[in-house]
Amino acid sequence: MRYANPLMLAVFILVLSGCGVRYDYARAQRLESKKRFEDALKTYQAVAQKDPKHALAPMALYRAGDLAAKVLGDYVLARRLYSTVMEQYGDKDHWGHKAEWALFNVPNYFPLIPESYWEEGDSETGGNNAKIKVVCKPSEEDPMSVVFVRNYYAGTKFISNLSINRVYKKINLELRESPVKGSQSTVILKYPLEKGTEWMTMRNKDKLRFSIDGFETVRVKAGVFPGCIKVREQLVGQDSWKYSYYAPGIGLVLTTQASDKSESRITELLAYNLSVGLESWEKEGNPEPMGESAQ
């Protein structure tokens, strides 16, 4: 009677295990293509559990996180899955950076999508007295950043001296805002994106205290936006503050001025279109967005 070589048997089992992981991953992809998203998510998770050291394991967890966040709307599960990718595979290849970016964008309260634009206006007249037209451009200096160009109007008159550019970048689970030319950045959003999160930051020489004060449904001229994050921005030592309301997948929809006694609307979103291109912007009669020399 012949006995199997233990080494060969181990290799055989290892090969079968690897084939099983690849088979299960392909099965998850098939389920996803058939729109059986919950089954696909569970199968992706099973891939990582079967062999956590397999090359497909982090990819499977990441894909499961994407399904939870973008298809099923289960943000709690998505955060857990992305966090697991960071904890277990953050030092391998690109997984740490990818998972960090995804985690901060669950949901995405400040889209950085080049060639998108937003139109804001004063709340009192619905934009008749004042408007701000914002276009997002890729940064020539940093591929991880974008430049928001803000063009200001009084009625229909373009006010060039008020137009201003700002650079935005998501890094280390923070959204940072900075001048086009300058090294100082202001943290305007910070993970975890939940009520009670607080942080201190600087803008020029001013010390600012930010906090996430809750979540609300916001109604503005552009529509009704549920699940908006309510962010307080307060100059240290002052007894009033500003609230910025950010809608998931849209960005800033409302700005108010507040104190202990009252809250008044200042500007609100009038219209928006994500990733439509600068050609559409110019066809609507807008001036060409000012270059990066604008401060």
pLDDT tier at 92 (50, 70, 90 boundaries)? confident
Q: What is the mean pLDDT of residues 174-188?
A: 92
pLDDT range class, residue 11, cuts 50, 70, 90: very low
- The number of beta carbons lying within 10 Å of the beta carbon of residue 173 is 15
Are 51 and 173 found together in one domain? no
In this structure, the answer to whether residues 227 and 276 fall within a common structural domain is yes
- Same domain for 58 and 126, yes or no, is no
Q: Which residues contact 224 (CB under 8 A, 6 or more apart)?
A: 217, 218
Least confident of 2-6, 34-38, 91-95, 116-120: 2-6
Residue 217 sits in which domain range? 117-283
CB 57 within 8 A of CB 44: no
CATH number of the domain enclosing 139: 2.40.360
Residues 124 and 83 in one domain: no
Tens-digit pLDDT profile for residues 236-289: 999 999 999 999 999 999 999 999 999 999 999 999 998 654 444 444 444 444
Q: Does residue 116 contact residue 276 with C-beta atoms inside 8 Å?
A: yes
Closest among 51, 43, 52, 50 to 25, alpha carbons compared? 43
Looking at residue 185, what is its pLDDT? 95
- 182 pLDDT band, cuts 50/70/90, is confident
Does residue 72 fall inside a structural domain?
A: yes
What does the DSSP 8-state code read for residue 25?
H
Beta-carbon-side half-sphere exposure of residue 231 (alpha carbons within 13 Å): 28
Assign 44 a pLDDT band (cuts: 50, 70, 90).
very high
| CB hemisphere CA count around 213 (13 angstroms) | 14
Q: What's the mean pLDDT when you consider all of the chain?
A: 88
Q: How is 217-258 classified by DSSP, letter by letter?
A: EEEETTEEEEEEEEEEEEETT-S-EEEEEEETTTEEEEEEEE
Q: What is the pLDDT of residue 74?
A: 95
Tell whether the model's pLDDT for residue 77 goes beyond 90. yes
Kindly state whether residue 38 falls inside one of the protein's structural domains: yes
CA distance 151 to 136: 12
User: How many structural domains are present in the chain?
Assistant: 2
Which pLDDT band, with edges at 50, 70 and 90, does 4 fall under? low
Which strands form 263-273's sheet, in the order they lie side by side?
186-190, 174-179, 157-171, 145-154, 130-138, 117-122, 263-273, 251-258, 241-247, 223-235, 206-220, 198-203
Whether residue 100 is found in the same domain as residue 208: no
Q: Is the pTM of this model over 0.85?
A: no
Do 190 and 72 share a domain, yes or no?
Answer: no
Domain membership of residue 250 (yes or no) is yes
In the prediction, which pLDDT does 161 show?
81
pLDDT tens, 184-237? 899 999 999 999 999 999 998 999 999 999 999 999 999 999 999 999 999 999
273 conformational bin, left if phi > 0, alpha if psi -120 to 50, beta if neither: beta
109 within a domain of the structure (yes/no): no
- Residues 207, 177, single domain; the answer is yes
Residue 64 lies in a domain: yes
